[in-house]
């Protein structure tokens, strides 16, 4: 079949003028992807391939599997949603089938309403800010428990707030740096017994400028402009730093929190992760996951040490790369048959699989090129047609149909972020995602078998009572007879369209999938 879509343009991405470290929470620098060379979305990360992380102790044994349970519990990220709004949404989330909610960092942070304020902590001992207070946080967790939904909390342990932002509520000043958290005024306001951290809690105050230097990546600050003081980098060789962070985690667990997403993992050595998230402190089935941007080229240097020496699962950025290639013009869905074997995906028990997370729309000039569909870093006029997001929908269908990993859905409140876009406003309410969740629940734990592959189409059987089909082509896919060996005889319903097919003797007669669409069939009971 021919792919009728237009080729994607190679677009150069350049730094945002006036950016500060507040907006560069994960990568630390801007990417560049241009026509003049091979398109690679992981240039900054791949610079560090020549050296593995320092401060890593040789493991005595492989950590416990990170995703050993509840594979049917799909994660939804309700990015920057206030706790009360999440509580009000809880019944709907349960009806849609979501099993886990990833919430934004709840700890006291700088006094800024922008989303990135939550990623500049001031004190772990206080839960209060634009998202809500401690009572509202508890109410959200109680509502989640009532509906059988897990709460996953975003934690920021690599750094504390930019001293300028914290002490002066401005971006850059000439005032002397003061590393005192939370500061005298907040100590008095909240009746805290004493400072959480002072200057002794941090590495020396230098900015990370060379991302091929692992010492800078692990011990330096995330900074913006040359005169920016950056985000002070916590020293996890200090026992009191680890103790404060572990106490925060224990307190959240006491509020019935069910797991944690760890921010800026690549800026902490595996040994630090293992100290703070000591497997002895957590049930083996507690979900712990983090973010490390890497692809097949940087897999061994950037991801492997963390996969080996920590028990965390991770966002499956290698699979995102594979998906982008597979759904691109001229790409082949055959690359999705066994992406794990080619290091184009994480292993089953370590993979949080996704097509978007909050970095992509909110840090537009840096991460816009991670999307599966063409984007431009500007406001879209009301008269313009919306970008074609069908590749994203097809990729979601693949993630929910495959056996490996746990699917993750990104949804926000309509953010005026880096891309000035409402594309993901209430994304989790989409009916097709609800159908995919239902398919996931029907097939979880069943084996996967390949029943059809071509550059444009892919078919997967799940167990003996379900199968999925994806057609990225601009033309319908038709087969006079489709072989489905091992499937039970009976009528199968596509949960996405409601269409039915009849399987008899392991075959379907006159099978057709519309252009640029997916189908998720389950046997009628």
pLDDT per residue as tens digits for the range 103-145: 999 999 998 988 999 999 999 999 999 999 999 999 999 999 9
pLDDT digits (tens, 9 = 90+) for 162-198: 998 888 777 777 778 889 999 999 999 999 999 999 9
Other Cβ atoms closer than 10 A to 507: 16
HEC letters along 264-281: CHHHCCHHHHHHHCCHHH
| CA 185, chain centre distance (Å) | 35
Give the pLDDT of residue 374: 64
| CA 157, chain centre distance (Å) | 17
- CA dist 525 and 508 (Å) reads 18
Position with higher pLDDT, 218 vs 21: 218
Residue 148 burial by Cβ neighbours in a 10 Å radius (0-12, 13-18, 19+): exposed
The answer to which of 68-77, 196-205, 308-317, 471-480 has the lowest mean pLDDT is 68-77
Position with higher pLDDT, 58 vs 391: 391
Length of the chain: 525
Residue 291 known to be catalytic? yes
pLDDT digits (tens, 9 = 90+) for 52-81: 333 333 333 344 455 556 788 999 999 999
For the chain, the C-alpha Rg in angstroms (whole number) is: 23
Give the pLDDT of residue 432: 98
- Residue (of 507, 513, 517) closest to 451 by Cα position: 507
Tell whether the torsion through CA atoms of 234, 237, 241 and 244 is positive or negative.
positive
State how beta strands 351-353 and 448-453 pair.
unpaired
- CA dist 333 and 326 (Å) reads 5
Instruction: Find all residues with CB under 8 Å of 101, minimum gap 6, and list them.
Output: 75, 76, 77, 78, 86, 93, 144, 149, 150, 151, 152
- CA dist 193 and 190 (Å) reads 9
- CA dist 347 and 313 (Å) reads 9
Residue 263 known to be catalytic? yes
- CA dist 479 and 459 (Å) reads 12
Give the pLDDT of residue 480: 96
For residue 478, give the 3-state DSSP assignment: strand
> What's the rounded mean pLDDT across residues 255-278?
95
Give the pLDDT of residue 64: 45
Helices and strands in the chain, H and E counts: 14, 18
Give the pLDDT of residue 419: 52
The answer to which of 28-32, 181-185, 448-452, 490-494 has the lowest mean pLDDT is 28-32
Mean residue pLDDT of the chain comes to 84
**Identified catalytic residue from 45, 128, 263, 494:** 263
Position with higher pLDDT, 164 vs 426: 426
Phi and psi, residue 450, nearest 5°: -80, 125
**Identified catalytic residue from 150, 291, 404, 494:** 291
By the 8 A CB rule, do 345 and 318 touch?
yes
Give the pLDDT of residue 57: 36
pLDDT level of residue 31 (50, 70, 90 thresholds): very low
HEC letters along 375-409: CCCCCCCCCCCCCCCHHHHHHHHHHHHCCCCEEEE
State how beta strands 500-503 and 490-494 pair.
antiparallel
Give the pLDDT of residue 387: 61
Q: Is residue 22 over pLDDT 90?
A: no
Give the pLDDT of residue 385: 56
Q: What is the DSSP letter of 108?
A: E
Give the pLDDT of residue 3: 36
Give the pLDDT of residue 100: 97
Q: Is residue 258 over pLDDT 80?
A: yes
- CA dist 478 and 357 (Å) reads 35
> What's the rounded mean pLDDT across residues 351-365?
85
Other Cβ atoms closer than 10 A to 12: 10
Give the pLDDT of residue 418: 52
- CA dist 224 and 142 (Å) reads 40
What pTM, to 2 d.p., does this model score?
0.86
Q: How many CA atoms lie within 13 A of 229 on its CB side?
A: 22
Give the pLDDT of residue 414: 81
Q: What is the DSSP letter of 8?
A: P
By the 8 A CB rule, do 116 and 135 touch?
no
């Amino acid at each position: 079949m021919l792919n009728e879509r237009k080729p994607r343009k190679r677009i150069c991405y350049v730094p945002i003028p006036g950016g500060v470290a507040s907006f560069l929470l994960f990568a630390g620098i801007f990417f560049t992807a241009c026509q003049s060379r091979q398109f690679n979305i992981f240039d900054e990360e791949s610079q560090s391939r020549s050296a593995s992380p320092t401060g890593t102790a040789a493991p005595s044994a492989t950590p416990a599997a990170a995703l050993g349970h509840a594979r049917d519990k799909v994660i939804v990220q309700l990015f920057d949603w206030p706790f009360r709004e999440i509580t009000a949404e809880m019944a709907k989330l349960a009806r849609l089938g979501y099993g886990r909610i990833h919430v934004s960092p709840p700890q006291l942070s700088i006094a800024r309403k922008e989303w990135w304020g939550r990623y500049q902590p001031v004190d772990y001992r206080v839960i209060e800010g634009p998202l809500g207070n401690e009572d509202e946080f508890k109410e959200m967790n109680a509502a989640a428990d009532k509906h059988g939904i897990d709460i996953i909390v975003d934690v920021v342990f690599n750094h504390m707030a930019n001293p300028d932002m914290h002490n002066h509520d401005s971006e850059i000043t000439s005032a002397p740096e003061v590393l005192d958290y939370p500061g005298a005024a907040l100590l008095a306001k909240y009746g805290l017994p004493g400072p959480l951290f002072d200057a002794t809690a941090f590495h020396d105050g230098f900015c990370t400028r060379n991302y091929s230097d692992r010492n800078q990546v692990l011990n330096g600050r995330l900074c913006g402009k040359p005169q920016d003081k950056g985000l002070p980098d916590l020293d996890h060789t200090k026992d009191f730093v680890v103790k404060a962070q572990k106490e925060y985690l224990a307190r959240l667990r006491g509020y019935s929190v069910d797991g944690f997403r760890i921010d800026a993992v690549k800026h902490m050595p595996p040994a630090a992760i293992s100290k703070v998230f000591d497997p002895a402190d957590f049930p083996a089935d507690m979900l712990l996951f983090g973010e490390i941007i890497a692809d097949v080229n940087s897999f061994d240097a950037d991801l492997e040490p963390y996969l080996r020496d920590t028990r965390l699962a991770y966002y499956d950025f290698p699979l995102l790369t594979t998906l982008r290639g597979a759904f691109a013009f001229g790409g082949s869905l055959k690359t999705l048959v066994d992406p794990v074997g080619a290091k184009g995906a994480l292993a089953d028990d370590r993979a949080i699989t996704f097509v978007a997370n909050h970095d992509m729309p909110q840090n537009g000039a840096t991460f816009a090129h991670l999307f599966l569909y063409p984007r431009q870093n500007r406001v879209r006029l009301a008269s313009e047609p919306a970008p074609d997001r069908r590749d994203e929908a097809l990729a979601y269908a693949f993630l929910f149909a495959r056996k490996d990993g746990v699917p993750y859905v990104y949804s926000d409140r309509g953010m005026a972020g880096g891309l000035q876009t409402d594309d993901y406003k209430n994304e989790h309410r989409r009916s097709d995602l609800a159908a995919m969740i239902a398919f996931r629940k029907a097939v979880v734990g069943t084996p996967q078998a390949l029943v059809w592959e071509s550059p444009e189409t892919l078919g997967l059987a799940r167990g003996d009572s379900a199968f999925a089909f994806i057609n990225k082509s601009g033309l319908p896919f038709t087969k006079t007879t489709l072989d489905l060996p091992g499937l039970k005889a009976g009528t199968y319903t596509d949960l996405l369209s409601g269409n039915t097919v009849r399987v008899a003797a392991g075959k379907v007669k006159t099978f057709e999938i519309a252009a640029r669409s997916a189908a998720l069939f389950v046997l009628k009971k």
